[in-house]
Amino acid sequence: MTVSTPLSGVNQPFKGILLIVVATFLFSSHDALSKYLSGFYPIVMVVWARYVVHTLLMAGIFLPQSGLRVLRTKKPLWQLARALCLLGTSLFFTTALLYIPLAEATAVNFLAPVLVTALSVPLLKERVTRGQWIAVICGFIGVLIIVHPGGELFTPAVLLPFCSALFFCFYQLLTRKLAEVDSPTTSNFFAGLCNT
């Protein structure tokens, strides 16, 4: 009999890649919709609506199966910190869309993998290979080319997507740590409920 653990799917790289591609498509669609809606509604309302929909979908899918057990966590303060990091990411990024074009804001936000890679060594004690560092440095150079320090995009408003990337970095690091003790369903439902 095989026992499933929170990290039992960690050795399925192709499934993981496929899920990341689908998630990236959904997030980019979400970002475009957020930019559009922020032209008509306050940022807080746009972000709130995102989490209301998130929570209702999670509740509709998982509460009938698991009941309130889905909210049981071994690390409630970590879950709260993770949820607030996600909220910070949403607020900073959506606000950035008022001042910066979507593509440029997204490019700056892609500093998050650089930050995650750099901080995974001291905070998670993970080993980063030379190839991974090279990929991250290439990504960072790409962001610099798009932002073009000294160019017209390089204004104080560029700090908004940078803060979004920083919050997203800590969100990812906390997600990795919480995956050791809580199910992904618990983490996602907790974040949606907290942020709603």
Do the domain assignments include residue 8? no
Do the domain assignments include residue 14? no
Do the domain assignments include residue 7? no
pLDDT digits (tens, 9 = 90+) for 87-144: 999 999 999 999 988 888 888 888 898 899 888 888 888 888 899 889 888 888 887 7
Do the domain assignments include residue 164? yes
With contact defined as beta carbons under 8 Å apart, do 99 and 160 qualify?
yes
CA distances from 132 to 74, 79, 127 (A): 32, 28, 10
- Reported confidence tier of residue 3, pLDDT bands at 50, 70, 90: very low
Do the domain assignments include residue 18? no
Can you give the pLDDT at residue 151?
Answer: 65
Element (H, E) at 75: none
Residue 78: HSE in the Cβ half-sphere, 13 Å Cα cutoff: 17
Domain span holding position 45: 29-195
Name the pTM for this structure. Answer: 0.81
Across the chain, the runs of DSSP E, i.e. the strands, are none
With contact defined as beta carbons under 8 Å apart, do 161 and 100 qualify?
yes
Tokens at residue 126, please?
Answer: 């993970």
- Reported confidence tier of residue 2, pLDDT bands at 50, 70, 90: very low
pLDDT digits (tens, 9 = 90+) for 44-101: 999 999 999 999 998 998 889 888 888 899 999 999 999 999 999 999 999 999 998 8
Q: How many domains does the chain have?
A: 1
- Between CA 98 and CA 81 the distance in angstroms is 26
- Reported confidence tier of residue 160, pLDDT bands at 50, 70, 90: very high
Do the domain assignments include residue 11? no
Q: What is the DSSP letter of 3?
A: P
Do the domain assignments include residue 10? no
Do the domain assignments include residue 16? no
Burial tier of 75 (Cβ tally within 10 Å: 0-12, 13-18, 19+): middle
- Between CA 150 and CA 181 the distance in angstroms is 45
| Candidate from 27-31, 33-37, 123-127, 142-146 with smallest mean pLDDT | 142-146
Q: What is the mean pLDDT of residues 9-21?
A: 84
Can you give the pLDDT at residue 172?
Answer: 94
